[in-house]
Amino acid sequence: MEIHAPHGSIHSWKDLLIQLGIITAGILIALSLERVREWRHERALVREARETTRYGPRRKTSRRSGSTCNRCEPISSLKSS
């Protein structure tokens, strides 16, 4: 990240506070956007983990019959013996 000095010199406390406020706001916006991106990625991982837990391994088809294996049914549909 590059932070450039203001085009004019700072002559008062007011100018200094304005510059600090602008820099602080920019950094907070960048950090917030990064956190939103990470949150969305984490939600995708959770969704994938739940789907894997629900359906078990990915569906495998038999080359001969084209049917899916018995292990690929949702866990909730399996009856305990």
User: What percent of the chain stands above pLDDT 90?
Assistant: 38
Report yes or no on 47 lying in a domain. yes
For the segment 59-65, the average pLDDT, to the nearest whole number, is: 55
Report yes or no on 77 lying in a domain. no
- Token pair listed for 21: 């406020």
Report yes or no on 45 lying in a domain. yes
Q: Count CA atoms closer than 13 A to 4's CA, side-chain side.
A: 3
Q: What SS3 class is residue 64? A: coil
For the segment 40-67, the average pLDDT, to the nearest whole number, is: 76
Q: How many domains does the chain have?
A: 1
Report yes or no on 15 lying in a domain. no
This prediction has a pTM of: 0.52
Q: In the prediction, which pLDDT does 63 show?
A: 56
Report yes or no on 39 lying in a domain. yes
- Do residues 23 and 3 make contact, with C-beta atoms less than 8 angstroms apart? yes
- Do residues 36 and 17 make contact, with C-beta atoms less than 8 angstroms apart? no
Q: Which H or E run contains 30?
A: helix 13-55
- State the residue range of the domain holding 43: 26-52
Range in 14-23, 25-34, 46-55, 69-78 with the lowest mean pLDDT: 69-78
Determine the distance from the C-alpha atom of residue 75 to the mean position of all C-alpha atoms in its chain, rounded to a whole number: 27
